[in-house]
Amino acid sequence: MAKGKEIPLSDLEFFPPFGGFPRDGIDFMKRLKRNNNRLWFERHKEEYETLVKLPMQSLIAALQPHLEVFAPEFDIHPKKSLFRIYRDVRFSKDKTPYKTHVAAHFVLRGKPKGVEGSGFYLHIEPGEVFLGGGVYMPDGDQLKKIRKAIAGQPDRFLSVLEQKQFKTTFKRLQGEKLQRVPQGYEPDHPMAEWLKHKQFFVWVEWGEARSFREKFITDVAEVFEAATPLVRFLNEAMG
């Protein structure tokens, strides 16, 4: 097993073995979508804790030894990696207080969840499972560093995208692109199409039923492993 800082055994023992995400957890999120208000949630908070939060934390705990093998630099923690259910409504027209999905973000050790750095993301909601890796909202400085790395290490970058596991799992790199090559690079630059990217991520979507199986944990790990060379390239580029 690759070297890395493991979660203390005492933390892992708190969470039951992952045997699949419960159908009742999906049903709870459907009911929450119909009753997205504080009064209803407070009355059913124990169901959220039991049917959604705890199974997701068990899933995260079960993922930890898998990532320890191929991405030991990442922090996989049942409590810290999980996103809160409470929505930030300060700048949103949608004032419903709760998310109707459950999600986790796995980042480099010492980094906060969110947009800093490149990492892995897992999202479960009624009807859909969404997961992948990369950087979704790089800031201006991060974009410059990524583009510099792509232009300076074209062979390495292309080899990441051409790996068999990458192509089989994701097909191609995703993300919004500029219409023109960014300032500072020639229009006919050999890496022009990649330099146009404003986002750098890959993802897969599955139906909700896939999350009900015990094998879901290895399915997720395989996707994250396929994304690791890209995730690692981006993190090295951003420093």
Question: Mind listing the pLDDT tens digit for each residue in 87-109?
Answer: 988 888 889 999 999 999 999 98
Averaged pLDDT for residues 132-143: 93
CATH topology of domain 9-238: BirA Bifunctional Protein; domain 2 (3.30.930)
**Per-residue pLDDT at 11 exceeds 70:** no
pTM of the model: 0.91
DSSP letter at 173? -
Averaged pLDDT for residues 33-60: 97
Question: How far lies 180's CA from each of 74, 123, 184, in Å?
Answer: 35, 33, 11
Looking at residue 110, its pLDDT comes to: 80
**Mean pLDDT rounded to a whole number for the chain:** 92
Order of strands, sheet of 200-206, starting from the edge strand that comes earlier in the sequence: 74-75, 102-108, 119-125, 128-135, 200-206
Least confident of 1-5, 49-53, 98-102: 1-5
Averaged pLDDT for residues 20-30: 98
Averaged pLDDT for residues 174-191: 95
Residue 58's closest CA among 222, 169, 220?
A: 220
Amino acid, res. 63: L
Q: Name the token pair of 199.
A: 């986002």
Question: How far lies 14's CA from each of 50, 62, 85, 117, in Å?
Answer: 13, 12, 21, 29
The confidence band for 236, taking pLDDT boundaries of 50, 70 and 90, is very high
The confidence band for 181, taking pLDDT boundaries of 50, 70 and 90, is very high
Averaged pLDDT for residues 159-165: 96
- What distance in Å separates the CA atoms of residue 60 and residue 58, rounded to the nearest whole number? 5
Looking at residue 115, its pLDDT comes to: 56
Contact 196, 177 (CB under 8 A): yes
- What distance in Å separates the CA atoms of residue 101 and residue 213, rounded to the nearest whole number? 18
**Per-residue pLDDT at 49 exceeds 80:** yes
Looking at residue 114, its pLDDT comes to: 63
Task: Establish how many alpha carbons lie within 13 A of residue 102's alpha carbon, considering only the half-sphere containing its beta carbon.
Answer: 29
**Per-residue pLDDT at 12 exceeds 80:** no
**Per-residue pLDDT at 136 exceeds 70:** yes
Averaged pLDDT for residues 62-67: 96
Looking at residue 233, its pLDDT comes to: 97
